[in-house]
Amino acid sequence: MGLAVLLLALVFRWIAVPLKAAVGFLLSLGGSLGVLVAVLQWGWFSSVLGTQASPTVISFLPILLIGILFGLAMDYEVFLVSRMREEYARGKSPVAAMVDGFGHGSKVVTAAAVIMVSVFGSFVFADMQITKGMGLALAVGVLLDAFVVRMCLVPAAMSVLQHAAWWLPRFLHRALPHVDVEGEKLTRQQARPAEAELDLLASRS
């Protein structure tokens, strides 16, 4: 998680958004682990799901759950917040940028989350206890992360933080290298000759 926060701060040059993404992942992980314990250890809904209560959970289940859910959670975060950042960079207010960015990015996140919940949820009908628990925990984790954390808490936090959401301390701004992932420098370099040519044509006319 610390490495993910560092990479997000390095690429996008924010500090509040990566921290918020990490906290949101912890909430989703806590919910999915809670469901895993309630179903596999406490025996909740055992008659419906066909599971049997066990005093322990196999150790690699939480490991797989953390790895897969973390990757999906960060993808959903980047889908939503990167579009908000684009709108903010174009001069819109923080709230307007959040609304417009959420309007575009939420469609992608919704489609991706519905697909993953359907895939993971299908494993609940398997015969193996481990497969049932893993599929259920992942389905609940993706459902919570996409529709509660990313769709509700992220827009709310962006509205509260306002301009502070895009703030980076000066010492980090100097220390972190500039990584041009989206090719903004190349876009500006290509735009300069075109603008010069337009200015030349305008002066001739």
pLDDT in tens, 137-158: 999 999 999 999 999 999 999 8
pLDDT of 31 strictly over 60: yes
Mean of all residue pLDDT scores within the chain: 82
Q: Could you tell me which residues come within 8 angstroms of residue 113 by beta carbon, excluding any fewer than 6 positions away?
A: 76, 142, 143, 145, 146, 147
User: How many percent of the chain have pLDDT more than 70?
Assistant: 87
Long-range contacts of 76-80 (CB under 8 A, 24+ apart): 76/109, 76/112, 76/113, 76/145, 76/146, 76/150, 77/8, 77/17, 77/21, 77/24, 77/150, 77/154, 78/8, 79/105, 79/108, 79/109, 79/112, 80/105, 80/106, 80/109, 80/150, 80/154
Gap between the Cα atoms of 73 and 22, Å rounded: 9
Q: Between residues 166 and 189, which one has the greater pLDDT? A: 166
Please state the rounded mean pLDDT for residues 87-108: 88
- pTM, two decimal places: 0.79
What pLDDT was estimated at residue 25? Answer: 92
What pLDDT was estimated at residue 46? Answer: 79
User: How many percent of the chain have pLDDT more than 90?
Assistant: 25
The label of the residue with tokens 């190349």 reads: 186
pLDDT of 18 strictly over 80: yes
Please state the rounded mean pLDDT for residues 22-48: 88
What pLDDT was estimated at residue 140? Answer: 93
For residue 69, name the pLDDT band (cuts at 50, 70, 90).
very high
pLDDT of 116 strictly over 80: yes
Angle at the Cα of 126 from the Cα atoms of 47 and 116, rounded to 5 degrees: 105
What pLDDT was estimated at residue 184? Answer: 55
